[in-house]
Amino acid sequence: MKTRNLSIILAACALAAACGGGPADQTAEHPSSPGSDSLIPRSLLLGNPEKVGPQLSPGGDMIAYIAPVDSVLNLWVMDRDGSDPRQLTFDTNRGVTDFFWAEDGVHILYMQDEAGEENTHVYRLEVASGEVLDLTPFDGVKAYVSAVDEDQPGTILVEMNRNNPMFFDVYSCDLATGGLTMLQANAGLDENGDVILGYFSDEHLVIRGFATIDQETGEITYFVREAAEAPWRELIRYSALDEVAPRAFSEDGKGLYLTSNLESNTTALYYMDLASGEETFIAGDSLADVGGITTDPNTGVPVAVTFNYLRRRVQVLDPSVQADYDYLSTVREGDFSVVSQDRADSTWLVVYYDVQNPATYYLYDRTAHQASLLFEAIPALGSYELAPMEPVLIPSRDGFQLPCYLTTPLSGTPPFPMILYVHGGPWARDYYGYEPFVQLFADRGFAVLQVNYRGSAGFGKEFLNAGNAEWGGAMQDDLTDAVGWAVDQGMADSSRVVILGGSYGGYAVLAGVTFTPDLYCCGVDFFGPSDLVTWRETVPPYWRPLDAMMDIRVGSLTADSLMLEERSPINSVERISVPMFVAQGANDPRVVKAESDQMVEALRAAGLPVEYVVYLNEGHGFAVEANRLDFTGRVEEFLFRQVPGVRCQAFEEVPGAQVSVE
């Protein structure tokens, strides 16, 4: 069985990442931009990739992947040797990006919404005929595949909130007919009055576990049972300040693989015997939480685990794959991951990535011990030299070491104009590697600083919990301290520092220009909350079960109402003194359009300069290539007007972009 959504996700508001890459266009000359003919084209960095995301069929004879058709990402399939490529989907709207092979090897399953509202449907695609069936044809419902089982290839588990928008029920779906059978209804509350967060299954598609959260304390409890009709029993209860995440049941159903930080600051990987409750330590790292886990495709036993502090580290757990990892480390430069395996575990798809290259895929034959190039996501990038990224540790004012990444332009001398690029989440993080916005801005002459401020995920619970109720407080201080460090190091020109970010990063932009008005020369906010009270009141209904956790992470609407009001930029607009650029998706369910509307209205009422663009067919991020290129071009022009000494590719309206300049 392969489980796709086993852990309870406590993070919210993560920025939807833009796809990078695509065919190059011609660089337009900007009237005041010397050397603009040598710029890396926007469409190469922020357009669609040429090919991306390959997945092996269970039998290993075919490879499905994503490639654009008329600027829309669609599913394709080819034979294992790369021959006979053929288009499978013919979407002309938002494209297909989330897919995987069904265990029968006959179908591909993919999830897709209509216009960024995140009400995803589950589709079944028959590879041979191209027939597509919507398995969840219900309006206003969010659905996803939660588990599949190689021993039951004609059945999948689907979760959706059809009966109550706050809670997800579990259904068994017959792939042949599309029929849905309710397996487990979510009543919303358990017998103790705790909110039921969700259910998870064992390796044979039997619902064997669920999680609850205490509405007052945020404590989380996991329950398990021995079989489908057996009584539930409490497995573990832990504080909202800790983290325990079940990853998978063992194949025999007697144990559970989980990550936990109950005995340490960072999460470690354990095996728990369900009968005795005894835990066996498997792997951990003192600086970073557990990242990705690679498992044996048949037994589900972990064979390798990754940790990522400043750079990615792989720990091989199974000696039988040590030689494979040793060989793959010699194939080319950069970090690599095993992204797909056939059922026999004789063929792997491996992706390599580094700062210069977002993704290069290899087909690895374990029997022959030989890797062969499959394709590159953006082969045209090979014609350009990209800017170097350096991991740095920046001290905060109260003693934390902030893991950061500094990218500097290839030409010019410091101090540079600098962009502070704030990641979303905030319970997410920045990584070392290729990032299209970073490379775009560095190519235009900016240094770019990415800061993993307190509250960022992946660095242990002490660092994460230090961000609790610190939106606009200590989290913002970390960003301020990082800018001060860059100025003190002589890397950044203090008069030319831009703050830019989306989602929580957008909030940090608004907070930065409000609470530290002399630090930045301008701000770029996309999808950012402007009022912490109204934002919390308008989140999607399926976030409501996590209200107790949001009270801890952000602040309570009752007990902390004054603090939330004080840290809402909308309430201190008069302190802003720099030009602003604001972008919003019209259908965003996470940060609704009213958040940007009210901020722009307040800025204009105060006589402050602001540019406001709304993308009519987007939600919390950019899925449509034309919109992504339109947004990037407008931002580039805005920054060129505000920041002396940078270069710019002239902006022209992008055909197909559904944008309203308001």
Catalytic residues: 503, 588, 620
Question: Look-up: residue for tokens 């580290």?
Answer: 313
Rounded Cα–Cα distance for residues 516 and 482 (Å): 13
- Residue type (1 letter), 579: P
- Which residues lie across from 357 on neighbouring strands? 354
What Cα–Cα distance (Å) separates residue 301 from each residue in 67, 220, 258, 505? 33, 26, 12, 37
Rounded to whole angstroms, the Cα distance separating 186 from 196 reads 7
**How far apart are the C-alpha atoms of 630 and 115, rounded to whole Å?**
17
> Residue 277 CB: number of other CB atoms within 10 A?
9
CB 49 within 8 A of CB 22: yes
Three-class SS of residue 275? coil
Exposed/middle/buried for residue 313 (C-beta within 10 Å: 0-12, 13-18, 19+): middle
- The structure tokens listed for 613 are 């663009």
Strand order in the sheet with 121-126: 98-101, 107-112, 121-126, 132-134
CA 54 – CA 100 distance, rounded (Å): 9
At 323, which helix (H) or strand (E)?
A: helix 322-331
Nearest to 199 by CA among 184, 219, 215, 188: 184
- 8 Å CB contact between 546 and 532: no
Give which of 300, 260, 302, 301 is closest to 284, Cα–Cα. 260
Instruction: Render the burial of 152-163: b for 16+ CB within 10 Å, e for the rest.
Output: bbebbbbbbbbe
The angle, 0 to 180 degrees and rounded to 10, between the axes of the packed helices 436-443 and 625-642 is: 40
Phi-psi region of 81 (alpha: psi -120 to 50; beta: other; left: phi over 0): alpha
Q: How many CA atoms lie within 13 A of 451 on its CB side?
A: 33
Query: What stretch of H or E contains 534?
Result: helix 532-537
Answer yes or no: are the C-beta atoms of 188 and 195 closer than 8 Å: yes
DSSP structural state of residue 616: T
